[in-house]
A and B are shown apart, each in its own frame.
Chain A
Amino acid sequence: MPDIDTTNGARTPWQVTRSVWFAMFMRETVSRTMADRFAWFWMIFEPIAFVGIFIAIRSMIRGDRFVIGADFIPWLIVGLMGFFLFREGMNRPVGAVEANQGLFAYRQVLPVDTVLVRIALEGLLRTFVFLIFIAGGLMLGFDLFADLPMFAMWAWLSLWALGAGVGLAVSAAAALVPEIGRVVRMLSLPLMLLSGVIIPMGMKPYHIQQLMLYNPIAHALEFLRLGFFENYKAVQGISLLYVWLFALSLIALGLILHLRFTEELKAK
């Protein structure tokens, strides 16, 4: 630990961290939303495209009868947005350490700062996009209004925390073993299928349901839908405690990895 003598104007670690977070946040915000002309377009268009495609498929097989207690399109939008929140929280941090390698020359900036800032920024952006979707959906006459707003927000926060935990752990691991990053990116589509985003879990046989319930994302998504559709019939056996156990352990693991391998992550 460096000796800190605050009398001669040196900043405390907390002050340094705060200015780093602020600076990183502004930098990432600018480069994420302004630098690329299509950044905003993709953020909004991607979910629209997904919704469009799945609605087309599902209307062919008449699957919209299988969601009990909710309309299919709002149900799908809520699930997709929730899953994207998790996915971005998982994927975005993977590149963060590598992308900001040059910044570690300023010794105030630590690898974990870049990851935390990205997680926070992605969460805010996704929340914003979701709000746009809710507003747009309501105007188009879909039932996208949260029946239990606090409940929905808590589920949303749980998904965010879960994504953050995975992101923290994976970003440290991926910087040490690059292959992990590639595997994680490949995982996002299977995870979407396994989390009951497209096909309601209630449709599956009981023993498959039990297997799917090992996946904490599925729990959080069901809760998010419960928050939006009061009468939605969620799968039996979901628990937010399970989600938070996962999220908090992963966050702890990620922070430990970042603490332990700070030098390796910097020196890459």
Chain B
Amino acid sequence: MIELKGLYKRYHNHLHNEWVLKDINLTIPQGVSVGLVGPNGAGKSTLLRLIGGMDSPERGAVIRRCRVSWPIGLTGGFKGSMTGRQNVQFVARVHGGGVQGVKRVIDFVEGFAEIGPAFDRPVQTYSSGMRSRLAFGLSLAFDFDVYLSDEATSVGDRAFKAKAKQAFRDRVGKASLIMVSHGEAILRDMCQAGIFLHQGRAQWFDEIDDAIAAYHETSGMPDSAPLRQARTATWEARKELRAVKAAHAEAQAAGADQAHLDTLMASMTHKRQLLRQRKAELAAVKEQADDDD
């Protein structure tokens, strides 16, 4: 559980001294993943930094009653002249756990990042993709209760993206997520609740959809009823497809007979077609600027 009590935050600047965040009072319950939405400059990243303890508020307090991560995918802490292994070792040591704990973390990151021998080369020789793989693996190596994410899941190539998403989903039971993203699809996918930030104020929504709807409304582009309907339908279709896929994988793993697998496969094809249809419908009603895929 994370409690935010009367948070005020501003950045000192020669030109203006406005509050970025004004009187934020929220309680983020344990195990609920939250998406932060709002226009650019609304203070989403600032709020995330405050929650993560990277910054402190002018007034008020953040009370963390659980282990909170640093923002996932953070590469700023890497020292270029040191190898990936040494960098990981440093972070593991900071977080304690003794020799065994440090070794466990290093092994995990080495396995997860899949960058091969580059793990023992200086980080400055890495491509940005390799860097984010390392950073992402590092975040997941610790058992945090709450992970913070600032537009982080959009790194790496396709295979790694899928792996990262999967790793997130696997953690959802144990850990929750607080994420800032403009990708509304991923917010809907990963989060249950939402916080909408507007003019320094924060509003809590139990459903992420409502938060996104509120955001759209204040930005002067409210969602039309058919758009909302089409979107819900697309989501239903996607969920069904995912369920069938999971069932198929399970059946395959369990060694079910061929007939059963074929039925599942057929149903999967059907669902996929359905999803494609829904997507087409959604594309027909939505405007070009919308970014839910």
A residues apposed to B, CB below 8 Å: 2-3, 5, 10-11, 15-16, 19-20, 22-24, 26-27, 30-31, 35-36, 101-109, 263, 266-267
Residues of the B chain whose Cβ atoms lie less than 8 Å from the Cβ of A27: 79, 82, 86, 90
- Which of B49-57, B219-227, B264-272 participates in binding chain A? B49-57
Which are the 4 A-B pairs with shortest beta-carbon distances? A23-B93, A107-B53, A102-B76, A35-B81
A267–B82 CB distance below 8 A: no
A106–B55 CB distance below 8 A: no
A3-B65, A27-B86 given as contacts; is B74 within 8 A of A20 (CB)?
no
Total interface residues in chain B, CB < 8 Å: 26
A105–B74 alpha-carbon span in the complex (Å)? 8
A20–B94 CB distance below 8 A: yes
Q: Which of B64, B71, B74 sits near A2, CB closer than 8 Å?
A: B64
Which of A15, A22, A103 has the most CB atoms of chain B within a 10 A radius of its CB? A103
A19-B93, A19-B94, A266-B55 given as contacts; is B86 within 8 A of A105 (CB)?
no
Residues of the B chain whose Cβ atoms lie less than 8 Å from the Cβ of A107: 52-54, 70
A27–B63 alpha-carbon span in the complex (Å)? 31
A5–B54 CB distance below 8 A: no
The yes or no answer to B112 lying at the interface (CB within 8 A) is no
Q: Which residue of A lies closest to B55 (CB)?
A: A267
A19–B79 alpha-carbon span in the complex (Å)? 19
20 A-B Cβ contacts within 8 A?
A16-B96, A19-B96, A20-B94, A23-B94, A26-B90, A27-B82, A27-B86, A30-B86, A31-B81, A35-B81, A36-B81, A101-B76, A102-B76, A102-B77, A105-B54, A107-B52, A107-B53, A108-B95, A109-B94, A266-B54
Q: Which of A2, A11, A105 sits near B76, CB closer than 8 Å?
A: A105
Q: Which residue of A lies closest to B80 (CB)?
A: A35
B77–A106 CB distance below 8 A: yes
Residues of the B chain whose Cβ atoms lie less than 8 Å from the Cβ of A263: 55-56
Residues of the A chain whose Cβ atoms lie less than 8 Å from the Cβ of B172: none
Residues of the A chain whose Cβ atoms lie less than 8 Å from the Cβ of B56: 263
B96–A106 CB distance below 8 A: no
- B105-123 contacts to A (CB < 8 Å): none
Cβ proximity bits B81-92 to A, threshold 8 Å, 1 near / 0 not: 110001001110
Cβ proximity bits B55-69 to A, threshold 8 Å, 1 near / 0 not: 110000001110100
A106–B91 CB distance below 8 A: yes
Determine chain B's interface SS by DSSP, over half rule: loop
A2–B81 alpha-carbon span in the complex (Å)? 35
Shortest Cβ distance from residue B205 to the other chain A in the assembled complex, whole angstroms: 27
The yes or no answer to B78 lying at the interface (CB within 8 A) is yes
Shortest Cβ distance from residue B246 to the other chain A in the assembled complex, whole angstroms: 33
A3-B65, A105-B74, A106-B70 given as contacts; is B91 within 8 A of A15 (CB)?
no
Shortest Cβ distance from residue A108 to the other chain B in the assembled complex, whole angstroms: 5
A154–B76 alpha-carbon span in the complex (Å)? 41
Residues of the B chain whose Cβ atoms lie less than 8 Å from the Cβ of A36: 81
A19–B77 alpha-carbon span in the complex (Å)? 17
Residues of the B chain whose Cβ atoms lie less than 8 Å from the Cβ of A106: 70, 77, 91, 94-95
A218–B94 alpha-carbon span in the complex (Å)? 39
Residues of the B chain whose Cβ atoms lie less than 8 Å from the Cβ of A11: 96
Residues of the A chain whose Cβ atoms lie less than 8 Å from the Cβ of B52: 105, 107
Shortest Cβ distance from residue A75 to the other chain B in the assembled complex, whole angstroms: 38
Shortest Cβ distance from residue B262 to the other chain A in the assembled complex, whole angstroms: 49
Q: Which residue of A lies closest to B70 (CB)?
A: A105
Residues of the B chain whose Cβ atoms lie less than 8 Å from the Cβ of A103: 77
Shortest Cβ distance from residue B120 to the other chain A in the assembled complex, whole angstroms: 13
A2–B65 alpha-carbon span in the complex (Å)? 9
